[in-house]
Amino acid sequence: MSTLLSKLSPSITDMIRMDHSQVLETFHQFRSGMSIAKKEALVGSACVALEIHTQLEEEIFYPALRELASDIEVLEKSFPEHAEMHRQITRLRSMTAIDPDYDPTFLELVRDALHHVADEETTLLPAAERLMPERLGELGAQMMRRRAQLLTAHAGEIMSSTVRSFPESAAVMASGAVGAGAYLMQQASGWVSRGRR
């Protein structure tokens, strides 16, 4: 069963790239002038995503890569970079969006994360694909299982951030779609009832 999961799972390097894309997309949504609630929700989402991502790398990816190539300089830099991102996340969580240091602290986190992503995508991921191509699926399956555990632990925080960052226009459209769907269901129900008479 685990062999099948390894074959069906995305590779660990593809999963890391997907995480990077997701976090970068969240960063791009941030605007200094957005509402306090949206700003805090967006920053909260980015922080949880980074915490889960860095934990997965430290528990699964880095140890596997270190077994094969302990001399990769970027790998050694990664742990202190993660520690710095965690320091910034802790600081952000102690503030509110009205704090004058909130935006600069988040932008510092963005800058550090972008630097870290660039190092991983240009050095670590290609090294893993070169050094352990036969293990990438197995490690991806491990990462998927562990991610599910970590997401469960953060479920409340993720749900809260998602709801608070949902664009008003999308909420209006979604409620309109639900209303239209209910109306159409009601009409269809009446049409079926009238057709049976």
Q: Same domain, yes or no, for 84 and 180?
A: no
Q: Same domain, yes or no, for 159 and 190?
A: no
Q: Same domain, yes or no, for 116 and 58?
A: yes
Q: Same domain, yes or no, for 154 and 175?
A: no
Q: Same domain, yes or no, for 97 and 174?
A: no
Q: Same domain, yes or no, for 56 and 110?
A: yes
Q: Same domain, yes or no, for 45 and 139?
A: yes
Q: What is the pTM of this model?
A: 0.75
Domain tally, the chain: 2
| pLDDT at site 168 | 52
Q: Same domain, yes or no, for 129 and 185?
A: no
Q: Same domain, yes or no, for 116 and 56?
A: yes
| pLDDT at site 51 | 97
Interacting residues of 24 by C-beta distance below 8 A, sequence separation 6+: 114, 117
Domain that holds residue 50: 2-166
Q: Same domain, yes or no, for 20 and 61?
A: yes
| pLDDT at site 108 | 98
Type of residue found at 85: M
Kindly report the three-state secondary structure assignment for every residue of the chain. Answer: CHHHHHHHCCCHHHHHHHHHHHHHHHHHHCCCCCCHHHHHHHHHHHHHHHHHHHHHHHHHHHHHHHHHCCCCHHHHHHHHHHHHHHHHHHHHHCCCCCCCCHHHHHHHHHHHHHHHHHHHHHHHHHHHHHHCHHHHHHHHHHHHHHHHHHHHHCHHHHHHHHHHHCCHHHHHHHHHHHHHHHHHHHHHHHHHHHHHC
Tens of pLDDT, residue by residue, the chain (197 residues): 455 554 667 999 999 999 999 999 999 999 989 999 999 999 999 999 999 999 999 999 999 999 988 778 888 899 999 999 999 999 999 999 999 999 999 999 999 999 999 999 999 999 999 999 999 999 999 999 999 999 988 776 766 666 655 555 454 444 454 454 444 445 544 544 455 54
Q: Same domain, yes or no, for 103 and 177?
A: no
| pLDDT at site 153 | 82
Q: Same domain, yes or no, for 75 and 120?
A: yes
